[in-house]
Amino acid sequence: MGVLNATPDSFSDGGRFLAPAAAIAHGLRLAAEGASIVDVGGESTRPGSEPVAQEEELRRVLPVVEGLTAALAPDAGEGGGGCAISIDTSKSAVARAALEAGAQIVNDVTALRGDREMAAVVAESGAECCLVHMLGDTRTMQQDPRYEDVVDDVKAFLEERLRSAVSAGVSEERLLLDPGIGFGKTIAHNLELLRRLDEIVAIGRPVVIGTSRKSFLGRIAAEAAGSSEPVRVEERLPGTLATNVLAYERGARVFRVHDVGPVRNALAVTAATLAA
């Protein structure tokens, strides 16, 4: 799953793909690198981010979804087909418009809690939906997050959200689960979730992992180098590769990343090794 932020304030590439033409071109690059999904978002979910008005979010994402839908259609020629479009939103109106424009997946960081109409939109459309664990909201999630047992608590949350989605009419076969690495977690919480990811996989739905370029990787790398400052975002690929390989070995099967080509290659080697 290639990350496409049509935002001015995302932590990794905010502002680079705010213009629709730039965003569409980047989405096509992600597909060319081997992304099976391009995840389009118009509202940053980084810690401390502020909400975006619905009209502004629609303005940011709809031209991108429409452009990618046309370019990636099976009959679009070279580069077309084989890549789905996901809409990263917690607003039902944005999800509905994006699905009508050609998106096939809803990636909801609130796990259908942020908008009570979202479950109905997903159910009626027949789209796939990713349910993400987040403690609190984006503005507060990193303010002293605490758990009794982070894996048990996240697993219980995802099981409850899975039941809730199914009871609202969403087909269980269309649901994916994301433990929300970095969403209301300390470094220790993130590492424990990765170490025991098989317990989340045991729920029985495909697990999405999103560690790409996140700050905890920068802090771990800095500590290893004896530095007090986290390594820069663009230097976090080694940590991204390591965490995705570990997650694959523990059963994750969807990997939300900025650097599609390198991660895809690392996972291909991992898969071949485990198969052998």
Mode of pairing for the β-strands spanning 84-88 and 37-41: parallel
Q: Which is nearest to 119 in space by CA: 101, 95, 135?
A: 95
Q: Which residues pair with 53 in a beta bridge?
A: none
**φ and ψ at 96, to 5 degrees?**
-60, -45
Name the H helices within 148-259.
150-167, 187-195, 197-201, 215-224, 237-249
- Bridge partners of residue 38, in order along the sequence: 2, 85
User: Distance between CA atoms of 200 and 87, rounded to whole angstroms?
Assistant: 23
Of the residues 91, 185, 214, 236, only one is catalytic, namely 214
Which are the contacts of 136, defined by CB distance < 8 A and separation ≥ 6?
143, 145, 184
Per-state percent for the chain, helix, strand, coil, to nearest 5: 45, 10, 40
φ, ψ for residue 178, nearest 5 deg = -130, 120
Which one is catalytic: 96, 174, 213, 256? 256
Whether 185 is catalytic is no
Residue 16 annotated in active site: no
Q: Which residues are the active-site residues?
A: 214, 256
